[in-house]
Amino acid sequence: MASSVEAWVDEVSQTTHPDKVVWCDGSDAENERLIGQMLSDDTLLELNQDVHPNSYLHRSNPHDVARTEHLTFICSTTREEAGPNNNWMPPAEAQERVWPLFKDAMRGRTMYVVPYLMGPAESPYSKVGIEVTDSAYVVANMRIMTRMGQVALDRLEHDGDDWVPGLHSLGDLSPDRRFILHFPDTRQIWSVGSGYGGNALLGKKCYALRIASVMGRDQGWMAEHMLILELQAPDGDVMYVAGAFPSACGKTNLAMLRSPFEDQGWRVRTVGEDICWINVGPDGRFWAINPESGYFGVAPGTSYHTNPNAMETVQSNTIFTNVAVTDDGRVWWEGMDGPVPSQLTDWLGNPWTPEDGTPAAHPNSRFTTPATQNPALSSHWEDTKGVPISAILFGGRRSTTVPLIYRSFDWAHGVYVGATMASETTAAATGAVGVLRRDPMAMLPFLGYNMADYWRHWLDMGSRASNPPAIFQVNWFQRGEDGKFIWPGFGQNMRVLRWVYEQVRGKNGNSRETPVGIVPTASAIGAEELGLSSQQADALLAIDRDAWLKEVEDQGAYLDQYGERLPAELRAQQRRLLDRLQKVPA
Ligand code: OXD
Ligand code: MN
């Protein structure tokens, strides 16, 4: 044990005053002990163990069900370092306003010390964190989501003082006393007042994205909110694709996609489904690891139709949070296969019938489940040097304007596409749902510094790589005049991946150039086979000049916020896009 860890744990206990300090080793015996304890104090409820072996239900405080972006801060020395994309709190104010919330916060509670490793055990790119928490639920989730315990301590022996401290307390769970703070200069995390995954499992958003993005900027690598999938073509050729999508926009479904063309040899395997750390390899390519070891996925909408691999993954050893439960102890959520049960216990623990008209499962209810149970897990998911990325997809929820897919013309154009992407908000964060907001690279809630500097870092990373990935934008969410999604999505997204593969391998026949980028032909995505009308196919792939002119204007207004810090290259990209659109006859 590095003495720096002991010293920090000591210091934290002197403020939080836990009754007991438990150093977690990540063993099965320890987990069983914790589960037993959580069953006896009702933190966990037992599910039907025949149907869901070793799986449990947790009902959170009803005011603690999603990430709280308005209570999440970057505590850099200056406001400019945090940027207009972040809430900023000066470190001195954090000390004054937030530190006191930790005083005596753990009296009457146990403080768990959780050493964890983000990334595969032997990878040079993996990194250690230590989370102290007074929540046994957090420990049980961290055990699924990270490599926890001895493996991290072993790494620490090797890495010495290179670890990130994360202090977490449930506090009193009041949103009035909830803060999720990140100190980029000292690489520390403080989180108080929430037990929700994205706020409390500090290895995930806080470390692997916000703090890691700062480390990546300083050390020449990237921490991204991206899935990583392995795409196999019929001749056995394999390509890796990364995809940045905002929360609850289908990353997990795409990463776990079961191909309808498996019999022809088109297959998808999962490397990761939420976070991706990228280094430039000696061959000039982007090499990516998944720092996590589990999936913290959105339950509603998950079914054998939308994501059969996820349904199989969550069969056992899974913690469900805020889902509904049947009288015989089976989990249920909206969108699950089969008829809606006539009665349930809802996520709040109340009796529920369909007539109630309320969701039985919370819209942001979740499963925490081990990656190793995914039947479609790539055999390369723990490769120490990562996997080489050939394509990056940027995707958001857009009812209009953005076509199903287009390819950017080059790296800088692709960075512009990512920088200006927008998406309608979802239930993964508290606040209004369905509001369009710019979410650059799907990192708006997850970047630990000024977005303009991040874009510069992206441009630099592209220049450092002799063979950077091709960049695409996708949009599964266009709606027709009837208000319904035009594209069937889910498994059929394989058609889009197939076109991506062809593009990357230089088979450019099935495509057409537009002012926005290169789009596929309707036949390339099998519009006819899918029974789409020609009008629907047009809507999916068309570039509406007027809508795009407005879009480019909005993009420009968004970029303006970053003032002098905005890389000139992005402004130039905006002008070029505008020029190309203006040349199209009205
Ligand atoms: C998540 C999120 O939980 O993005 O992955 O909110
Ligand atoms: Mn996410």
Q: Average pLDDT, whole number, for the chain?
A: 97
* Per-residue pLDDT, 219: 98
Q: Is pLDDT of 159 > 90?
A: no
Query: In this prediction, what percent of the chain has a pLDDT beyond 70?
Result: 100
296 ligand 1 Cβ < 6 A: yes
Q: Is pLDDT of 500 > 80?
A: yes
> What are the φ/ψ torsions at residue 333 (nearest 5 degrees)?
-150, 160
181 ligand 1 Cβ < 6 A: no
Catalytic residue at 75?
no
Q: What is the mean pLDDT of residues 368-397?
A: 98
75, 206, 249, 276: the active-site residue: 249
Strand runs (DSSP E) across 256-374, as ranges? 267-272, 276-280, 286-289, 294-298, 319-321, 324-325, 331-332, 344-345, 351-352, 366-370
Can you tell me the distance from the alpha carbon of 130 to that of 512, in angstroms, rounded to the nearest whole number? 51
Q: Tokens 């000039």 sit at which residue?
A: 284
Ligand 1 atom closest to the Cα of residue 446 is 4
* Per-residue pLDDT, 360: 98
Q: Which helix (DSSP H) or strand (DSSP E) does residue 31 occupy? A: helix 28-40
Q: Is pLDDT of 128 > 90?
A: yes
198 ligand 1 Cβ < 6 A: yes
Distance of CA 359 to the CA centre of its chain: 24
| Token pair for 290 | 């998944």
For residues 131 and 310, the answer to whether their CB atoms sit within 8 Å is: no
Distance of CA 457 to the CA centre of its chain: 20
Per-residue confidence at 508, pLDDT binned at 50, 70, 90?
confident
- Taking the whole predicted model, whether its pTM rises above 0.85 is answered as yes
Output the CA torsion 401→407→409→415 (10° steps): 80
451-464 vs 411-419: helix axis angle to the nearest 10? 160
Contacts of 279 (CB under 8 A, 6+ apart): 125, 220, 221, 286, 287, 288, 386
Q: Is pLDDT of 2 > 80?
A: no
Residue nearest to atom 3 of ligand 1 (CA): 198
Using the mean position of ligand 2's atoms as its centre, give its distance from the Cα of residue 246 in Å.
7
Using the mean position of ligand 1's atoms as its centre, give its distance from the Cα of residue 576 in Å.
34
Encode pLDDT of 110-120 as tens digits. Answer: 999 999 999 99
Can you tell me the distance from the alpha carbon of 32 to that of 38, in angstroms, rounded to the nearest whole number? 10
Contacts of 338 (CB under 8 A, 6+ apart): none
Mutate to test the pocket of ligand 1, among 253, 274, 302, 319 (most ligand atoms within 8 A of CB): 274
Encode pLDDT of 545-574 as tens digits. Answer: 999 999 999 999 999 999 999 999 999 999
Q: Is pLDDT of 54 > 70?
A: yes
Q: Is pLDDT of 30 > 70?
A: yes
Encode pLDDT of 322-356 as tens digits. Answer: 999 999 999 999 999 999 999 999 999 999 999 99
Q: Is pLDDT of 399 > 70?
A: yes
Ligand 1 atom closest to the Cα of residue 66 is 6
Q: What is the residue-wise DSSP string for 210-242?
A: IIHHHHHHHHT-EEESEEEEEEE-TTS-EEEEE
Can you tell me the distance from the alpha carbon of 444 to that of 420, in angstroms, rounded to the nearest whole number? 11
340: which DSSP letter?
P
Ligand 1 atom closest to the Cα of residue 429 is 6
* Cα-based angle 122, 126, 132 (whole degrees, multiple of 5): 115
411 ligand 1 Cβ < 6 A: no
Using the mean position of ligand 2's atoms as its centre, give its distance from the Cα of residue 550 in Å.
29
Q: Which residues pair with 562 in a beta bridge?
A: none
Q: Is pLDDT of 505 > 70?
A: yes
* Cα-based angle 116, 120, 121 (whole degrees, multiple of 5): 70
126 ligand 1 Cβ < 6 A: no
* Per-residue pLDDT, 3: 84
247 ligand 1 Cβ < 6 A: yes
67 ligand 1 Cβ < 6 A: yes
Using the mean position of ligand 2's atoms as its centre, give its distance from the Cα of residue 227 in Å.
9
Encode pLDDT of 175-225 as tens digits. Answer: 999 999 999 999 999 999 999 999 999 999 999 999 999 999 999 999 999
Ligand 1 atom closest to the Cα of residue 428 is 6
* Per-residue pLDDT, 586: 84
* Per-residue pLDDT, 161: 81
* Per-residue pLDDT, 1: 62
Phi-psi region of 368 (alpha: psi -120 to 50; beta: other; left: phi over 0): beta
CA-CA-CA-CA torsion sign (488, 492, 496, 499):
negative
